[in-house]
Amino acid sequence: MEIVENINELASYISSVKTNVNIGFVPTMGALHEGHLNLIKASKLNGDITICSVFVNKIQFNNEEDFIKYPRNIDQDIELLQQAGCDCLFIPTQEIVFPLDYEFENFELGNIEEILEGFYRPGHFQGVCNVVNRFINLIHPNKLYLGIKDLQQCKVIEKMIHLEKYEPTVELVYCATTRNEKGLALSSRNKRLSSIAQEKALILIETLKSAKEQILNKSNHLYTIQQLAIDAILNNGFESVDYFEFVNQDFELIDHQSTEQSPAFILTAATIEGVRLIDNIIL
């Protein structure tokens, strides 16, 4: 696996392999787990060359403490990527990705950056779009691999891709959420949880599955489903629930009193042991 740390090294590597090959790109912030490696494996199955970035993007953290506490273990990341067959690892510094004279873009994302994660993490999605846009311009991938655990982020990047007119040159490939044997969605932040909290965190997927079943069976109104879910999460050791919400196919929030709109996705975010977890389910 080639390891590059600056733009010149990256450009040199890409120019050496680019002729008549497809490049799959997997952007990450490191602290890799099986979910990230499944993205690498999906890229390896569908393309010729796979490039992964490990870059903890400070501008997408609206909470300085969260940025500081974000787990980092680059030696382990390198070993895992080598085992997964990654072709190239790009590990730049903040100064290389965003030099002092870099002009950040303000993407017209619309309502999607105002709701759910956008509401609780103001500025987060602008930070995400700026770094992904920067990497696309540096790497020129044919396919961009994303995990749907971060479903709203996937939809935001999809909007940015459309705004920047990258399609059809850059194709988004969504991969299913990777879970442990008990059903907990894998996340780099899980490493900050005790074993007891990881057990309690299973309530997230359990309430999502229950909500999906109630919707499909039409056994409860959305408001009742939401309140039952929030109560279950809080009664299972979580300190707070930011949201347990329903959105349609266009990723618009659905009125809890509505009987005419059918949810396409259910999303939740909640905090346990000071660690904020997110999860979702597709109907």
Query: Taking a C-beta distance cutoff of 8 angstroms, is the pair 195, 276 a contact?
Result: no
Q: How many helices (H) and strands (E) does the chain have?
A: 11, 9
What pLDDT was estimated at residue 65?
Answer: 83
Enter the pTM of the model: 0.94
| Average pLDDT per 10 consecutive residues for the chain, totaling 283 residues | 97 88 94 95 91 93 83 94 97 95 96 96 95 97 96 97 94 96 94 96 98 94 96 98 97 85 94 97 97
What pLDDT was estimated at residue 58?
Answer: 85
Domains and CATH numbers, the chain: 2-175 (3.40.50.620), 193-276 (3.30.1300)
Q: How far is the CA of 5 from the CAs of 13, 54, 67, 87, 253, in angstroms? A: 11, 10, 21, 14, 41
CA distance 143 to 68: 31
Q: How far is the CA of 108 from the CAs of 94, 129, 154, 165, in angstroms? A: 24, 11, 16, 13
What pLDDT was estimated at residue 261?
Answer: 79
What pLDDT was estimated at residue 46?
Answer: 87
Chain centroid to CA 144: how far? 12
What pLDDT was estimated at residue 48?
Answer: 80
What pLDDT was estimated at residue 269?
Answer: 98
CA distance 44 to 70: 28
Residue numbers annotated as active site:
36
